[in-house]
Structure 1
Amino acid sequence: MKKILLYIILFLSGIDGAWALPIEKEGMSIYSPSLKQEVSYSIILPEGYEHSDTEYPVLYMFHGIGGDYTSWLEYGNVARVMDKMIKEGKIQPFIMVIPDGYLSYYSDTYDSSSLYETFFIKELVPYIDNNYRTRKDINGRSIIGFSMGGFGALSVSLRNRHLFGSVVALSPSIRTEKQYMEEGPQKGWDNQWGRIFGGVGKNGKQRLTSYYKQHSPYHILSTLRNSDLKGFGIMLDIGDKEGTLCESNEELHRLLLERQIPHEWEVRSGGHDFTCWNTALPKAFRFINEYFNGKQSGNSESSLPNETPFIQTANATVYYPEQAQGSTRKYPIIYVQGEINEQQQKVLVSQFHQMVDENKTWPAVLCFVKANTDLSETISDIEKQLSGIRGSQRMRALITLGDNIKEGIEAIQRENLFTGIVCVNAIGNENDAQNLIKAVNSHKRYPRCWIEILPESKEYGFSSNIHILLKESDLEHEFRSRKCKEANVFTYWEDWILYLNNRIHV
């Protein structure tokens, strides 16, 4: 027994020196006069906090419905994510505070029966500043939240811009006006929304109380000018498998585009869960770090492709996979239509061959089709004239750029040509969107679609509409909205190839 106790003492006394990690304090509490109760919170202090006199920025972390002050600790593993990024030199150290948010939407209720925002702004933030070594300036504070916490992060930070310099909302639980007016059942709506923002027992426009509009991120951002948000950072991130929140978040992004309010926006693979939010976390920490006065590094890597033989036809350039002399096998074919010069083609082909060499994808023929030429006719000519191509719908895929989506739509309206289509920064109108959905729907299983659009694109609404219409039609697809590196439209070429390879070999 004495020997066991000795080992325990030696073990505990050696922890500090053995593992240099952040300090995670779970289940702390503060008494709130506003809420008339103890409120639990967890706090994460960066490694070295106890042995320095540094003042640190603070990130407040809001959880979603069903979560509590442990959610980010347990499901986000945020202490170790932060620590790893600090040690890699990607971010500076900061303090994280995770308060218990209950089912409050981080707002005071309309009838003042529960004053959560008052507690947070007037009690918790001052308490943290008084009891920990924190930076007291605006840029030294930020809020991040998921789901209900995303709503709260946006609402609280936007309403208190004198305290916070940035906000990150992951899959924020917001509603379009139509959704808010029609959502049911009534009892569930009353408990989630009406109890806080007024309108209990009401439906339709009676639910859109002035108090709700004062707290709804969509309505707040509808009233703010670009100049009101100067220096304030906004990042929105959502998964493409979201349900109800897909349309409302798309609408919020489009509002910000229309009002020319700077913000980060990304649609990534995933749904309403920590698998998706954890994938977004490193980007969120880097974004917040910029507003904590961190430096942003660039990437100036260039690609030097090998020379690859090709076959030139009237409307296309065809590149075959690398193969031994005497081989007679056939290959799937990926058509790429858009304004792509010869140098760009060779870079993309070189990257593709490298992926094949690394066993990331299987060999295929790449065919670059001239912009705005008849796609169906070109495909027919290529597959009649050239050998070594598996000329079937299952073994054929398409990547289309800009307004060339119209050629793709016309092609699949005539015939079910492709197993998968990637639409990049598409340009079109409402009729084009409807025609695409109708054509895809008529073929049922194929083609599956990947929609890729720049967050700041003037044509964002078109791709966003396609995404929403595909969801409404229950058509499986992928939707991504993310920035390109150094204005390179092919930044995500590898992602598209992997997607189409999976479609071809499903």
Structure 2
Amino acid sequence: MKKYFFVAGLLFLLNHSNALAAKVDTVQTYSAAMKKKIKAVVVVPDNYQQVKSFPTVYLLHGYGDSYDGWINKVTVLKKYADDFQLILVCPDGNISSWYMDSPVDPEWKYETYIATELVSQIDQQYKTIKDRKGRAITGLSMGGHGALYLSFKHQDVYGAAGSMSGGVDMTPFPLNWEIAKRLGSYEQQPERWKANSVVNMTHLLVPNKLALIIDCGKDDFFYNVNNKLHEELLYHNIPHDFTIRPGAHNWEYWKNAVGFQLMFFSHFFNKAQ
């Protein structure tokens, strides 16, 4: 009970502080795989110039949104960058990439972009800890799927990962969110849909290799698939934090959830030092 009040109190103070001193950049990155420039928001702490290097958290947006969705809707992210002493990177995953390299559309290579090209460019341009021990990834909805999908497949790149209201199993939603444009129709490609759903990728994990935090609102339409993922992780003996709290698939929930996720990553970074 004491731990609960401490965490709740800390989040209250973080969310209600007016000292938003961190610097927000909008940067142009380049994907050689897709042959195009892609924007990203990068948030660096106020004391960026005085510190040798910082851990980095990649924060992915949901379906229909863009690179600036997080910073426009959750301005307290600037305070989190200061208080947790980390760099936040919010890349553009297009409106419906699902953060995959599409097997049906060669122009969509967002796995390659996020996990390889973007990480390399951020490490070159910013004072990051250039190691998986100083790198985490999370996101909401489509971005929650993307964060786990990328971290499961690239455990050499990310040391920690999270998901908020993630679409971690795409198979129950064959007509939604343009997934069929990325994978082909579910009717024709059911095995491809299953293979690219996070809930069926837990066999890629080694216990204690990747620090994981997953949360979802009880009233979210993704609640059942997140609970299914939790059961799969338990079956494979993969340690993870799993939280179900009141809430639905909306920004009210994500504004609250992201503070807990960043606290989890901060703890991971401090342990890894």
The question of whether the paired residues in 2 share the 8 Å contact of 1:21 and 1:83 is answered with no
Partner of 2:178: 192
Distance 1:162 1:151 in 2: 18
Q: Which amino acid aligns with 2:242?
A: W
Partner SS, residue 292 of structure 1: helix
Match of 2:248 among 265, 271, 287: 271
**1:234 has 2:215 as partner:** no
Could you say which residue in structure 2 is the equivalent of 1:32? 31
Partner of 1:124: 118
Instruction: Name which of 210, 225, 247 aligns with 2:224.
Output: 247
Tell me, yes or no, if the aligned pair for 1:106 and 1:116 is still in contact at 8 Å: yes
Segments of 5+ residues of structure 2 without an aligned counterpart are 1-18
| Alignment partner, residue 63 of structure 1 | 61
The structural deviation recorded for 1:254 is 1.4
Paired with 1:83 and 1:137, the residues of 2 have a C-alpha distance of: 19
Report the equivalent of 1:42: 41
Preserved CA contact (<8 Å) 2:23 2:78: no
Distance 1:80 1:63 in 2: 17
Q: How far apart are 1:55 and its partner, in Å? A: 0.8
Q: What does 1:168-187 align with in structure 2 at a 5 Å threshold?
A: 168-175=162-169, 177=171, 179-180=172-173, 183-184=174-175
Partner of 1:109: 102
What is the letter of the counterpart of residue 252 of structure 2?
T
Distance 2:204 2:32 in 1: 32
8 A contact 2:199–2:229 mirrored in 1: yes
Distance 1:110 1:171 in 2: 25
Question: Distance between the aligned counterparts of 1:139 and 1:123, measured in 2?
Answer: 19
- TM-score norm. by structure 2 comes to 0.85
User: Which residue number in structure 2 is paired with residue 73 of structure 1?
Assistant: 71
The separation in 1 between residues aligned to 2:212 and 2:152, in whole angstroms, is 10
The 1:81/1:22 distance shift into structure 2, 3 A limit, reads closer
2:74 and 2:34 map into 1 onto residues whose CA distance is 28
Whether the 8 Å contact between 2:25 and 2:43 is mirrored in structure 1 is yes
What corresponds to 1:97 in structure 2?
A: 89
Offset, 1:20: 7.0
Deviation at 1:129, TM superposition (A): 0.4
Given candidates 196, 199, 222, the residue that maps to 1:215 is 196
Cα deviation for residue 122 of structure 1 reads 2.6
Residue pair 1:176, 1:247 contacting (<8 A) in 2 also? no
Compared CA separation, residues 231 and 293, structure 1 to 2 (3 A): farther
- CA-CA distance at 1:120 after TM superposition: 1.8
Q: Distance in 1 between matches of 2:238 and 2:61?
A: 26
**Structure 1 Cα separation of the partners of residues 145 and 263 of structure 2:** 21
Report deviation, 1:176: 6.4
Is the 8 Å Cα contact of residues 72 and 78 (structure 1) preserved in structure 2?
no
Q: Take 2:79 and 2:271, find their aligned partners in 1: how far apart are those partners?
A: 17
| Equivalent position of 2:9 in the other structure | none
- Per the alignment, do residues 132 and 267 of structure 1 end up closer, same or farther by CA in structure 2, a change over 3 Å counting? same
**1:311-355 CA distance string (max 9 Å, x none):** xxxxxxxxxxxxxxxxxxxxxxxxxxxxxxxxxxxxxxxxxxxxx
Aligned residue identity for 2:87: I
The Cα of 1:47 is off from its aligned counterpart by 1.1
The answer (yes or no) to whether the contact 1:197–1:209 under 8 Å persists in 2 is no
Q: How many residues align?
A: 252
The match for 2:204 among 224, 229, 235 is: 224
Extract structure 1 runs of 4+ deviating beyond 6 A: none
CA pair 260-241 structure 1, distance change in 2 beyond 3 A: same
Q: Which amino acid aligns with 2:165?
A: S
Match of 2:161 among 137, 150, 167: 167
Aligned in 2, Cα 1:288/1:53: closer, same or farther, shift over 3 Å? closer
Q: Structure 1 residues 83 and 95 mapped into 2: Cα distance closer, same or farther (>3 Å)?
A: closer
Q: Output one character per residue of 1:286-305: Cα deviation in whole Å (capped at 9) or x when no partner.
A: 1111221259xxxxxxxxxx
* SS of residue matched to 1:293: helix
Residue aligned with 1:38, SS: strand
Distance of 1:78 and 1:231 partners within structure 2: 30
* Alpha carbons 1:62, 1:146 under 8 Å: kept: yes
Q: CA 1:42 to 1:220, structure 2 compared with 1: closer, same or farther past 3 Å?
A: same
Structure 1: stretches of 5+ with no match in the other structure: 1-18, 296-506
Give the whole-Å Cα distance in 1 for the aligned partners of 2:122 and 2:238: 31
Amino acid paired to 2:209: G
**Superposed displacement of residue 24, structure 1:** 0.9
Deviation at 1:78, TM superposition (A): 4.1
Higher relative contact order (CA 8 A, sep 6+): 2
**Separation in 1, partners of 2:37, 2:63:** 19
> What displacement does 1:260 show?
2.0
CA distance in 2, matches of 1:176, 1:47: 39
Question: Which one has a bigger Cα radius of gyration?
Answer: 1
Give, in angstroms, the shift of residue 81 of structure 1: 3.9
